[in-house]
Structure 1
């Protein structure tokens, strides 16, 4: 049987779908990049014509040549890219061949390859931002719903992997919501000022004479991007993108990590709506969505780090650092969109088992309330002695009944009395500001949703 040759990399589609999906891949694939570069070339000649530096007929001819990417052969462009070191040079040659002689002088006017490729990559980021923001907002809506619905669902709070003190699941969800919303707000700031790049050979815009600022402004306007000075060796815009995308993936990773821990068999406080099976164990329903989000969160820092590590560019144009950005940037965009979508799906279908949460509150016969007991003993014993007293009781009983030990201890009984012990052992009496914190997170979410 002859193997399939429908993809350039055998087996790649089997894995790529785990990160995102065909529609997300299409946002940043070679065809999308070609489309973006053509849009940039058309906008560039159009901007030069807008400023009276090129014939409008030439701008129309270049725009027509850029209108249909299918006229260009990706294989030929790829071969030219290997020779030139970037895809803009072979694209420029192809466009020159596609227009009449009178318009050829106005293909790629006054720009350098970096202007076109940097702007095209930013354009891809801008185009991917809409589904990215949509997915992040969907994740936030689902999380806000969980926070509100479970504001009274008391559960065990865990620190350093151990039971600590009581909390409510609504506050856990509010914590997720805060991270998602903070990351989204940061990304919206980045997306709102994504810049076009236009500097010419060494960043002076010399080709346009004294009209460089006007040409750059029209160029950016045509593409829906921000205008500003050239950033050939000032890679802060790339770092903003990297940090913004990485923060979104990290926020999703926090959600998925908590879900994985709470969904463990021995805990069983939450479950994904549908899990994946095991090739060996018939009984397993693995939390696949959470696993894949955590996998993305593990991959993201390397991509962010690669972009930060490539940010020092020498003099007016870099030798290699610029080239090192292209693939990690597109990989990070794809990862971020796919991860936010998967997190939204995970949260929308998350099952929460309040009865299991309530059962775990009684583990250790009330030992979860040790902090509350020590706090109530402090006025009578002093903070240090109260803490030591409770710690000794916990050590003495081992896996025994903490509540019974308190009632048998005369010092505790004298200080608190039966009613005081009862109150100290009530998890609902030790929730502090949890309701206010949930309300604050929901209010911030509503404010962000209105933007």
Structure 2
């Protein structure tokens, strides 16, 4: 992983898709294949045991395998060659049965499925931590009034819990959708030369079932060498998750701006500092998530562009898919880990949230006032009158409430006017919506 990729991701996900790890996953397939074929009598049991004994990554030079793959056209070809040579050196008879009836794509695709299962476990663990931290923030600050903003401008008053619910809901949906896609996408790839397992005769299906069971993977009805829909559905859902993480990061970074000051990421110990300005508290977790969210759409597009694979084996497009797949997961885990770490120590300044509401001279309550006056003088006239009052408030820097002429609607009492300009009251609908959502989520496992 290059240094610019590395600081945007995690060491753990780098290891999952590292050279040694992928070589081991390919060898896991070869070991499972040999044992399955030994179980059904397709190869001698002694040969199967001997093959499996050598399927350990430390016996091979992963860098050499990768280097040789450039001319071989597949990672599997040089690895199978080296495995065959190693087994044959110990048992010539066993060496004849290495990779019996399989093909390179079976090895590589299944290895990627196994690696992806590990990657999803990492992503899910950090996603759960992020969701848990958002819930904790809701419990601590959910009722705090805060400005809603539309088109980057102050709009109305909502609650911070409403924003937290808007961040949490897509994450919960993504977790569910990824789980559903994984149930289908994490499946064995095993078809032999053209997907028929013909080299194993009638025993092919039995071998496939045993390999799938040994590796803990779903057994598909046939090989999916050039049928990439279920696999890419999983990738697309991971990409959507990363997009949702980017939305959260965008909101956090905007709310953390010094002029706004409603949120702050954890700092100290070199985190979020500046090489030139000692006062800086940069939102570095948001930075990582935004960088990932900006790159992932191209990854997903690359996956989709590689779907038109020729006949029974793709030429170049399958290989492109493999490379994009790794980048997708590397970026997404970097994003979810960064936000999970930040959420655990996120500073919420409810006092500043209130101050940002107050400094707008009551203009964010204009719609509520307009709706109330519309009952007496009609919607169009109410809108016109309040628009004039609002322009005066802006021009003269006076509170909108002080400009309200109660004679426009004699039924509007001073007490009712006060209520229309009460931030806590204005936040109540948002508080109720957030409460329903978080209460509902609390009744089922995340």
Query: Which band: TM-score by shorter chain?
Result: over 0.9
Instruction: Decide which moves more: 377-386 or 106-115.
Output: 377-386
What SS class does the counterpart of residue 378 from structure 1 fall into? Answer: helix
1:60 and 2:52 correspond:
no
* Deviation at residue 283 of structure 1 after TM alignment: 2.1
Which of residues 199, 202, 212 is equivalent to 1:220? 212
Match of 1:116 in 2: 107
CA contact (8 A) 2:361 2:393 kept: no
CA contact (8 A) 2:19 2:66 kept: no
* Deviation at residue 16 of structure 1 after TM alignment: 3.5
**TM-score, length-normalised on structure 2?**
0.93
Which of residues 355, 363, 368 is equivalent to 2:351? 355
How far, CA to CA, are the matches of 1:189 and 1:73 in structure 2? 37
CA contact (8 A) 1:40 1:119 kept: yes
* Deviation at residue 395 of structure 1 after TM alignment: 2.2
How far, CA to CA, are the matches of 2:308 and 2:25 in structure 1? 26
The equivalences for 1:15-414 within 5 A come to 15-66=4-55, 68-99=56-87, 100-193=91-184, 194-228=186-220, 229-274=222-267, 275-398=271-394, 399-406=397-404, 408=405, 410-411=407-408, 413-414=409-410
Instruction: Decide which moves more: 164-173 or 389-398.
Output: 389-398
CA contact (8 A) 1:185 1:448 kept: no
What SS class does the counterpart of residue 83 from structure 1 fall into? Answer: helix
CA contact (8 A) 2:10 2:333 kept: no
CA contact (8 A) 2:288 2:334 kept: no
CA contact (8 A) 1:140 1:180 kept: yes
CA contact (8 A) 2:226 2:312 kept: yes
Q: Which runs of 5+ in 2 are unaligned?
A: none
How far, CA to CA, are the matches of 1:383 and 1:109 in structure 2? 79
How far, CA to CA, are the matches of 1:433 and 1:53 in structure 2? 68
CA contact (8 A) 1:137 1:449 kept: no
How far, CA to CA, are the matches of 1:350 and 1:260 in structure 2? 12
CA contact (8 A) 1:377 1:415 kept: no
Classify 1:444/1:322 alpha carbon distance in 2 versus 1 (closer, same or farther; 3 Å): farther
Q: Following TM superposition, where does structure 1 have runs of at least 4 consecutive aligned residues deviating by more than 4 angstroms?
A: none
How far, CA to CA, are the matches of 1:384 and 1:18 in structure 2? 55
CA contact (8 A) 1:139 1:340 kept: yes
How far, CA to CA, are the matches of 2:9 and 2:203 in structure 1? 43
What SS class does the counterpart of residue 148 from structure 2 fall into? Answer: strand
* Deviation at residue 444 of structure 1 after TM alignment: 4.5
How far, CA to CA, are the matches of 1:448 and 1:116 in structure 2? 38
How far, CA to CA, are the matches of 1:448 and 1:221 in structure 2? 30
* Deviation at residue 409 of structure 1 after TM alignment: 5.5
* Deviation at residue 140 of structure 1 after TM alignment: 0.4
How far, CA to CA, are the matches of 1:377 and 1:52 in structure 2? 86
Match of 1:4 in 2: none
* Deviation at residue 446 of structure 1 after TM alignment: 3.1
What SS class does the counterpart of residue 164 from structure 1 fall into? Answer: strand
Instruction: Decide which moves more: 37-46 or 421-430.
Output: 421-430
* Deviation at residue 309 of structure 1 after TM alignment: 1.2
How far, CA to CA, are the matches of 1:54 and 1:444 in structure 2? 55
How far, CA to CA, are the matches of 2:303 and 2:16 in structure 1? 20
How far, CA to CA, are the matches of 2:432 and 2:187 in structure 1? 40
How far, CA to CA, are the matches of 1:436 and 1:321 in structure 2? 50
* Deviation at residue 415 of structure 1 after TM alignment: 4.5
Q: Which runs of 5+ in 1 are unaligned?
A: 1-8
CA contact (8 A) 1:238 1:307 kept: no
Classify 1:388/1:124 alpha carbon distance in 2 versus 1 (closer, same or farther; 3 Å): same
* Deviation at residue 388 of structure 1 after TM alignment: 2.8
